[in-house]
Chain A
Amino acid sequence: MSAVLTNPPPVPAQESPGLWTLAWRRLKQDPVGMVSLAIVAFFLLMMAAAATGLIAKDWSKEKGVSYANPSFLAGAENLEAKAMAARETSKAPPVDLSDIDPLAPRYKEWEERAAKIAVTEVKRAESLPFGGDKWGRDVLQKVVKGSEVSIFVGLAGALIATFIGTLLGAMAGYWGGRVNDLLEWFYNIFTSIPYILLILSFAAVAQATGSFGKGIFSIILILSLTGWTGIYRLIRAEYLKHASREYVKAAQAIGASNMQRMFVHILPNVSHVSLVQLSQHTVQFIKAEVILSFLGFGVPVDQVSWGTMLAEAQNELVIGKWWQLAAAGASMAILVTAFSLLTDSLRDALDPKLK
């Protein structure tokens, strides 16, 4: 298709903005849209950097004291850290067993050897930029690293769900008849089960059988296999509407095949719906991942996500350590809000009502 424009004989006298170009121009005029776009881009960059190890590489290092204070609360009393330190310092000197230990003569040799190895006792920081968790890990780095899993799960899940929903919706809406009946029946079964229950049952099956693979990939699959329904309905409705439009009839008249009509002619006209749905579902799945991790069905323990952070935070809150909750909650709230606003702006910019 694009081959048409590879060797344009005369130079176009003036640029002729396509619909996406026009949409981009409208989006540029929308300050809210642009700010949210910048925020989303920032989060995506952060995610990419964390994934490639550029930042937050050593998020799992225990750098601070237990529940290290945030640096803006550096002076506050940290009872937990004191208690921990007290336990360490108050350790009783080892009982002298040299009388009965057959290896006692080697004690000296060992001590000499041990002295050769330079042991530098790292002093644990009293405060970290945004505080520390129970093991003294830096909350800020955890949030950055956690974005990797959360956003990746959200985006990948939404991409797969949108793909499934668009494909099935296109088939049901375009063909109608039996195909539509079958898919509607399938859809009704999916939507008749409460959403959370459906996710949890999928998650339970996935954990028990391991059939969805391990770790975050199983979450992505679970979310996309349960989340395509809304997209399917919308795309189906759009296809129903477009299939009887004159331009599709015109395409049939010039001999375009069904596949061409479905995906070359109609799809670009409904793609704005898919796009907005993609963005809405990304938000929804980021939240769903948090819920799953919170319930313990989510990411494995050796990884961090905003969901696991929130799950940890429920115990910490009791003892008044709020920063882990605040950090994970705030970054999620900012991303989700920005993403939602971006979705709204996108919908406005992609308004299919043509001039």
Chain B
Amino acid sequence: MDEQNLILRIQDLDVRFRIDRKSEPFQAVKGISFDIPTNTTVALVGESGSGKSVSAMAILGLLPENAIIAPASRILYGARDLTKAALPEMQAIRGKEISVIFQEPMTSLNPVFTVGEQIGEVLRLHMGMGMRQAQARVVELMNEVGIPNPQLRVNSYPHEMSGGQQQRVMIAMAIACEPKLLIADEPTTALDVTIQKQILDLIAGLQERHRMSMLFITHDLGVVGDIADSVVVMQNGVIQEQGPVKAIFESPQHPYTKALLACRPRLDRRPKRLPVIDDFIKGDGRPNLAERTRGTTPEDPIILEVKALNKTFFLKEGLFGKRAIPAVKDVSFRLPKGKTLGLVGESGSGKTTVGLTLMRLHDATSGEVLFEGRDLLALSEREMMAYRRRIQIIFQNPYASLNPRMTVGHILVEPMKIHAIGKDERERVDMAFRLLERVGLAPQSFYKYPHEFSGGQRQRIAIARCLTMKPDVLICDESVSALDVSVQAQVLNLLQDLQDEFGLSYIFISHDLAVVKYISDRVMVMNDGVIVEMADSDEIYRHPREEYTRKLLSSIPKGWQAAAQAT
């Protein structure tokens, strides 16, 4: 590829962060080089901490103050080196020639301005448009990114829009000035599968139509296949492999790339354990691919039965008025002992409310939750205590569900104390150590605080906390959704091992169909608070009966089709 066709060339980019005065600066990006040709999409793939976002922010000159870019680094944009560009020069480039879409649309939009004003600001700033002219262009842009009724929606505030629409607004802002390079930093990670699919199609379409280049950053190789022309795989600040998308998917060279491709659960097969990165880096690269069979039979003993569960929230309206918002409508299902029930739906479908209500973390409006024949919803608070430990929950966000002011030891011992498990402190501590080992954490973890752990490790702590109470039913509320695909595979394997070992029954709530398909025996699809379809997992994926289920299934990123057939 010759110089003429390059929009950006990164040479020996080396970024370090000063942590404090004493220690050596932490090297986040260790001398990487790659090119972004004109009119192409380059995907930058890696786990959290691989340095992919840092590289992107370095291009925009948006690194925090404690970052040091080594003098030998070059980011060549045309004839200019962006690492040495002065601030006014960078400001002229940012948003006009190089623009960016961030992961969280809700936090990236200013809540006190209408979306029209925010898109218009970019136009007035960079294109020198007047008020009226900008307004017309904003409507045009909003139309282009697929926001219905743009004339009306121009005057909406960000909170009046859904997550997907907010991301569309962000995209409209990013393409407003016809940038030459669009940087998309995990633009779909915070969105539901169906929305993710729409946004990916939109971005790909825009890239083609506007003939711009795109740097697409993601931790999920799966989403890259559809839209990227070439792929750069990063790990720990170095590039492990780069090449055209076809080569990466069809004949990955580096074990790390192979691992990333393999660790995402797939719809067409279900190995006993998901391959993890260590299998490829340390092992022989041939993970155990024996298949696991899933499914339920009518004879399975039932541990939990939910009958006509209803939950309605009330919103205050005006001074005395109340508005009923039904979140769960007449939901009934049975959970067989030792099996996994998958609960799939988009955000707002009521799947989390089901989980919280049957644990009585919310009060149900009506219905029954029969646990071994007793209705949990009818028990008094004291009677409930005995059952509380037997149904446990693992939350979505491992950063929020552990008390930051407690050591891991304290977190693990506390529930045992509350439920008088173990005869004395000594025994409880011993048990905590055994559980730490069981979930794959070092014994020193006992003395550490949650902030010292990564997301996957924290989720292991949350799992260990549930296990201290020897529960029968475990509700996993989007428990792996916030994790990188590679870490997600490890946690899923752990959950599977624990089910095999202790005979736990899971209610697995997720918006990710591939994950649900992998782990569940039976799948329940929810939409708007009602159950759309319920069937054994293989059945529902092979022969979906309902339109909504089919729509969900078609939104799953296909990765590289060829890769699915190979291996």
A interface residues (Cβ-Cβ under 8 A, vs B): 1, 3-10, 12-14, 16-19, 29, 245-247, 249-256, 260, 264-265, 268-269, 352, 354-355
Contact = CB atoms under 8 A, between A and B. Distances in A.
Given A1-B410, A16-B407, A247-B403, A253 B425 contact: no
Given A12-B447, A29-B20, A269 B414 contact: no
Contacts, number: 109
A253 B361 contact: yes
Contacts of A10: 433, 443
Given A9-B429, A246-B395, A250-B465, A16 B419 contact: no
B389 A355 contact: no
Nearest to A5: B409
A205 B467 CA distance: 59
B400 A254 contact: no
Which of A245, A246, A254, A265 has its CB near the most chain B CB atoms (within 10 A)? A254
A173 B84 CA distance: 51
Interface in B409-425: 409-410, 413-415, 418-419, 425
A250 B433 contact: no
B430 interface: yes
Interface string B445-461: 01111111000000000
A105 B151 CA distance: 119
Which 9 A-B pairs have CB atoms at the shortest separation, nearest pair first?
A: A268-B405, A254-B415, A246-B401, A246-B400, A255-B388, A354-B451, A16-B448, A12-B447, A247-B403
Contacts of A250: 393, 395, 401-403, 462, 465
Which of B20, B361, B401 has its CB near the most chain A CB atoms (within 10 A)? B401
Contacts of B406: 265, 268
B309 to A, nearest CB: 18
A18 B395 contact: no
A235 to B, nearest CB: 16
A321 B410 CA distance: 62
A16 B462 contact: no
Given A4-B409, A4-B429, A8-B429, A252 B447 contact: no
B335 interface: no
Given A8-B446, A14-B444, A253-B393, 12 more contacts: A4-B410, A7-B429, A10-B433, A19-B404, A249-B361, A250-B401, A250-B462, A264-B414, A265-B403, A265-B406, A268-B405, A352-B404
A265 B403 CA distance: 7
A255 B393 contact: no
Contacts of B465: 250, 254
B392 interface: yes
Contacts of A256: 414, 418
A268 B393 CA distance: 23
B452 A16 contact: yes
Contact of A19 (B393, B405, B419, B446): B405
B28 to A, nearest CB: 15
Contacts of A8: 429, 446-447
B327 to A, nearest CB: 16
A254 B425 contact: no
A54 B175 CA distance: 75
Nearest to B387: A255
Contacts of A6: 425
A189 to B, nearest CB: 22
Nearest to B401: A246
B462 A255 contact: no
A251 to B, nearest CB: 7
Given A246-B395, A246-B397, A255 B385 contact: yes
B426 interface: yes
Contact of A254 (B396, B397, B414, B429): B414
A115 B104 CA distance: 96
Which of A13, A249, A253 has its CB near the most chain B CB atoms (within 10 A)? A253
Contacts of A255: 385, 388-389, 415, 418-419
Given A7-B426, A9-B430, A255-B389, A18 B407 contact: yes
Contact of B433 (A3, A9, A252): A9
Nearest to A266: B403
A269 B415 contact: no
B435 interface: no
B409 A253 contact: no
Nearest to A253: B393
A114 to B, nearest CB: 74
A73 B453 CA distance: 64
A20 B395 CA distance: 27
B410 A254 contact: no
Interface in B59-111: none
21 contacts: A1-B410, A4-B407, A4-B409, A4-B413, A5-B447, A6-B425, A9-B429, A13-B442, A13-B443, A16-B447, A17-B449, A29-B20, A29-B21, A246-B396, A246-B400, A247-B401, A247-B404, A250-B401, A250-B465, A352-B404, A355-B452
Contacts of A247: 400-404
A14 B405 CA distance: 19
Contacts of A7: 425-426, 429
Which of B389, B429, B469 has its CB near the most chain A CB atoms (within 10 A)? B429
Interface in B36-53: none
Contact of A253 (B388, B407, B433): B388
Contacts of A14: 444
Contacts of B407: 4-5, 16, 18
B462 A254 contact: no
Contacts of B452: 16, 355
B173 to A, nearest CB: 27
B530 to A, nearest CB: 25
A268 B402 CA distance: 13
Nearest to B389: A255
A245 B356 CA distance: 14
Contact of B404 (A13, A252, A260, A354): A354
A6 to B, nearest CB: 7
A1 B361 CA distance: 25
A352 B400 CA distance: 13
A260 B417 CA distance: 12
B64 to A, nearest CB: 14
B94 to A, nearest CB: 26
A14 B393 CA distance: 31
A59 to B, nearest CB: 45
A94 to B, nearest CB: 79
A90 B451 CA distance: 81
Contacts of B415: 254-255
B359 interface: yes
A29 B21 CA distance: 9
B389 A254 contact: yes
A325 B126 CA distance: 61
Interface in B532-565: none
Nearest to A270: B405
A18 B425 contact: no
A16 B425 contact: no
A253 B392 contact: yes
B58 to A, nearest CB: 22
A8 B432 CA distance: 12
A255 B426 CA distance: 21
B395 A249 contact: yes
Nearest to B381: A257
A18 B449 contact: yes
B355 to A, nearest CB: 10
A10 B430 CA distance: 10
Nearest to A265: B403
Contacts of B414: 1, 254, 256, 264
Nearest to A264: B414
